[in-house]
Amino acid sequence: MILGQIRQRFGKVFIGGIIGFIAFVFIFYGVFSPKATRGLHQGSVAGTVNYEPVSIQEFRREWNRKLDFFRGIAGGKVSDKQLKSFISGDYIFKDLARQKIMIQQFEAYRLKIADAQVTDKISRVSNFQKKGKFDLGLYKVILESNRQTPASYEKMIREAFILESWEPYFEKRLPVSLAEAKESFFIENEKREIKYLVLNEENLKGDLLPSILKAWNHEKKLATLLKPSGLRLEKSFRLSKSMFYLLGVPASPALKKEIFNLQKADCKQPKQHEIDGKKILFCVSQVEAVDLSNWEEKRESWMKQFALRKAQSFSNRWVDLILSRSRIEKNEAVLDSVGG
- The 10s digit of each residue's pLDDT in 16-29 is 444 444 444 343 43
pLDDT digits (tens, 9 = 90+) for 309-335: 899 999 999 999 999 999 999 998 888
Shared domain for 226 and 96, answered yes or no, is no
39: alpha, beta or left? (left if phi > 0; alpha if psi -120 to 50): left
At residue 237's C-alpha, the angle toward residues 236 and 238, to 5°, is 120
Indicate if the pLDDT at residue 131 is higher than 70: yes
Shared domain for 35 and 104, answered yes or no, is yes
Short-list 187, 180, 236, 228, CA closest to 9? 187
**Strand (E) or helix (H) holding 192:** strand 191-199
Short-list 188, 282, 182, 195, CA closest to 244? 188
**Strand (E) or helix (H) holding 308:** helix 295-324
pLDDT score recorded for residue 293: 85
Instruction: Decide if 297 is inside a domain.
Output: no
pLDDT band at 70, cuts 50/70/90? confident
Indicate if the pLDDT at residue 134 is higher than 80: yes
The mean pLDDT value for 196-208 works out to: 89
pLDDT score recorded for residue 294: 82
Cβ neighbours of residue 271 closer than 8 Å, sequence gap 6 or more: 258, 262, 281, 282, 283
* Domain boundaries, position 93: 2-176+316-335
Shared domain for 321 and 274, answered yes or no, is no
- End position of a domain, from candidates 288, 305, 324: 288
Task: Output DSSP code: residue 76.
Answer: T
Instruction: Decide if 303 is inside a domain.
Output: no
pLDDT band at 110, cuts 50/70/90? very high
Instruction: Decide if 147 is inside a domain.
Output: yes
pLDDT score recorded for residue 178: 93
Q: CA-CA distance, 211 to 204, in Å (whole number)?
A: 11
The mean pLDDT value for 127-149 works out to: 92
CB 210 within 8 A of CB 289: no
pLDDT score recorded for residue 216: 95
Indicate if the pLDDT at residue 251 is higher than 60: yes
CB 47 within 8 A of CB 97: yes
pLDDT score recorded for residue 81: 72
Shared domain for 199 and 106, answered yes or no, is no
The SS3 call for residue 204 is coil
- What average pLDDT is seen over the chain? 84
pLDDT score recorded for residue 76: 64
Q: How far is CA 289 from CA 33, 243, 283, in A?
A: 49, 16, 17
Shared domain for 19 and 117, answered yes or no, is yes
Helix orientation angle between 150-171 and 295-324, rounded to the nearest 10 degrees: 120
Number of DSSP helices (H) and strands (E) in the chain, helices first: 13, 9
Instruction: Decide if 172 is inside a domain.
Output: yes
Shared domain for 55 and 124, answered yes or no, is yes
pLDDT band at 340, cuts 50/70/90? low
CATH number at residue 139: 1.10.4030
Shared domain for 115 and 227, answered yes or no, is no
Q: CA-CA distance, 158 to 154, in Å (whole number)?
A: 6
268 backbone dihedrals φ, ψ, rounded to 5°: -70, -40
